[in-house]
Amino acid sequence: MKTFHSIAELRATLQQERANGKRIGLVPTMGNLHEGHLQLVRQADSCCDIVVASIFVNPLQFGANEDLGSYPRTLKEDQEKLTGAGCDYLFAPSDEEMYPNGRETQTQVEVPGLSDIHCGASRPGHFQGVTTVVCKLFGIVQPDVAVFGEKDYQQLMVIRRMAEDLYLPVEIQGAPIARNEDGLALSSRNGYLSEEQMQVAPTLQRTLQEAKAAIQAGRRDYTQLEEESYQKLEAVGFTRDFFNICDAEDLSPADEQCKKLVILAAAPLGGARLIDNIEIDLSA
Ligand code: PAF
């Protein structure tokens, strides 16, 4: 696997690949890779000739009091993992390479509405940072396919909407959530958890499953069910962010008529803000 830090050099190589008729897949990441990221690489590899992964801890998507400074940067280990997973090229630019004119005057890409609820309400400006950097990565790599994890359910929806609205010629694929043996969704931020917190963390997924089972059994008092779920999480040490039972089509609050639902959850535990989700299909 070859690593590029320069946009010009990466583009020259990819232009050649494209001229040779190669189909290009992109896996955007912020590094500190785990098995979930490697599954995205394998998925891209299964439908493309060339896989490009990017590692860029994007300052635009972090709020002022968030973990930009402490976000784990593990380039050497990541390179080894990507090589093992079949990645062809790694793009690992500096901040200056991605934002040569500074961040203040950077053109912004925004998906209004969808970016302002749930995670966007807790982290104002976050999705605007994500769509801006992903749009730039699409411009740089010009992938045929781009693969994103379904753990970030709302992010995937926001990116799909951006690609659709801007007629970007890229197929956006979601990849199933990778979990550890206890059901905890894999995340680079799990590294912030102590051993004790790692024991507690799978409660988030269990609470989602219990809420799903309750809905499948007929409960439709969603506000009450959300409140009970918060209380279960708080009882084991999580603090409240959101646990929202939504219409899977547009992420608005689900009502009794809704047949396809998703529960989106974000729950801080110690120094980590864990996110997870679960889909529910009542149409059968
Ligand atoms: O999901 C992530 O890791 C990031 O939000 C992404 C898509 C790489 C953009 O920085």
Per-residue pLDDT of the chain (284 residues; tens, 9 = 90+): 999 999 999 999 999 999 999 999 999 999 999 999 999 999 999 999 999 999 999 999 999 999 999 999 999 999 999 999 999 999 999 999 999 999 999 999 999 999 999 999 999 999 999 999 999 999 999 999 999 999 999 999 999 999 999 999 999 999 999 999 999 999 999 999 999 999 999 999 999 999 999 999 999 999 999 999 999 999 999 999 999 999 999 999 999 999 999 999 999 999 999 999 999 999 98
User: Ligand 1, closest atom to CA 188?
Assistant: 3
User: Ligand 1, closest atom to CA 130?
Assistant: 9
Confidence at residue 147, expressed as pLDDT on a 0 to 100 scale:
99
38 lines ligand 1 (CB under 6 A): no
Region for residue 237 given its phi and psi (left: phi exceeds 0; alpha: psi -120 to 50; beta: otherwise):
left
The per-residue b/e assignment along 22-61, b for 16 or more CB within 10 angstroms, e otherwise, is: eebbbbbbbbbbbebbbbbbbbbbeebebbbbbbbbbebb
**How far is residue 258's CA from residue 246's CA, in Å, rounded to a whole number?**
9
Confidence at residue 284, expressed as pLDDT on a 0 to 100 scale:
84
pLDDT in tens, 30-43: 999 999 999 999 99
135 lines ligand 1 (CB under 6 A): no
Confidence at residue 153, expressed as pLDDT on a 0 to 100 scale:
98
Which residue lies with its CA nearest to atom 8 of ligand 1?
29
Q: Which backbone phi and psi does 218 adopt, to 5 degrees?
A: 120, -5
152 lines ligand 1 (CB under 6 A): yes
**How far is residue 57's CA from residue 68's CA, in Å, rounded to a whole number?**
8
**How far is residue 232's CA from residue 238's CA, in Å, rounded to a whole number?**
9
Which residue lies with its CA nearest to atom 6 of ligand 1?
29
Give me the chain's average pLDDT, please. 98
pLDDT in tens, 81-111: 999 999 999 999 999 999 999 999 999 999 9
**Cβ–Cβ < 8 Å for 193, 269:** yes
134 lines ligand 1 (CB under 6 A): yes
Which residue lies with its CA nearest to atom 1 of ligand 1?
29
